[in-house]
Structure 1
């Protein structure tokens, strides 16, 4: 079956942030970022987010900032999948879109930069800018990844999974894909089967 282009690093990072809210396996919703240790573990698993991921330890302020950014990203994901329904986790209390945009843009602007001169041998000097600490603050990196993804054609592949109990977003990889994972497809088929038999009982 033909597949789409590979997922860009920006799209992967934005999706991975959104997917820290997930189905808990018992019919509820789990949040991987309820405490600083959860954010620390998440950053360690995503080394492109900070210059020294192994040395990163989240504090309460970093956790709050990332959770607020995640709420904005999920609100904008819900907007991106319209006219389809958003993830059930986002249907009840989404942020107003202008607030989500303001939150995302403010986070992206937290990347401090300084002037930089590059002058390769045999070429003209080139002035540019670089982040003062390599990858920049965590929320700025995450926000910039989300902006790059939402402004790209990849956004059109974004879907909310509507299998029973699932709250994930995913990028559609082939035209017939309806669910984020095969296990969600199985759950959806079982639920449809039960619904059909309940209607004929």
Structure 2
């Protein structure tokens, strides 16, 4: 099972560009190919070989659609707090996001398989029962990571960072954490200070 960092990393391919806008690390097939290879260790690669994976426009569209569903469900998870400003005005409806996520997760049927190495305790793994194409297998792996995360305890720690210019989601590590990174906390404090100065300067 992939850990929660995989689905967070997928969501965070939408990021601040450093100039007041939003950048997309999956802006082209090459970007997706690079991202998949960088996350090979976290992906359930039953069904495709990461080293041989080369994204095309169809793969890019499929993964970006899945990412939109994940970000819509992240926005639902952080309620009543507001979602990331990156897509707050164009979120998929929650029902549509759920359907897209569940369909992708179910596109590669799996069956439990018992593994019992000599000298060790037996354990169960889930293996694909078909031979899906690489894009279907990739999306199924990402969707299942999202399902496990959203249905698990870490969902309660999910937050959207609302520091100026930030569009990230993050997991809250301690009760007083408000921002995803110290640099975001610094920007937020500077912005608050400037607002207070402006209020005091007004006649």
TM-score interval for Structure 1 and Structure 2 normalised by the shorter chain = 0.7 to 0.9
What is the RMSD computed on CA atoms of the aligned residues? Answer: 2.7
2-side partners of 1:182 and 1:154: how far apart?
21
Question: In the alignment, which residue of structure 2 is the partner of 1:110?
Answer: 107
Distance 1:200 1:99, change over 3 A: same
* Corresponding residue pairs, total: 192
Partner of residue 22 from structure 1, selected from 15, 26, 51: 15
1-side partners of 2:169 and 2:112: how far apart?
38
Distance 1:33 1:199, change over 3 A: same
8 Å CA contact 1:35, 1:60 repeated in 2 = yes
Determine whether 1:178 maps to 2:178.
yes
Distance 1:15 1:120, change over 3 A: closer
3-state SS of 1:175 partner: coil
8 Å CA contact 1:10, 1:146 repeated in 2 = no
Output the TM-score relative to the length of structure 2. 0.86
Unaligned runs of 5+ in 2: none
Partner of residue 11 from structure 1, selected from 4, 27, 35: 4
8 Å CA contact 1:78, 1:90 repeated in 2 = no
2-side partners of 1:118 and 1:192: how far apart?
56
Shift of residue 138, structure 1, vs aligned partner: 0.4
Question: In the alignment, which residue of structure 1 is the partner of 2:154?
Answer: 154
2-side partners of 1:100 and 1:42: how far apart?
22
3-state SS of 1:89 partner: coil
Output the TM-score relative to the length of structure 1. 0.86
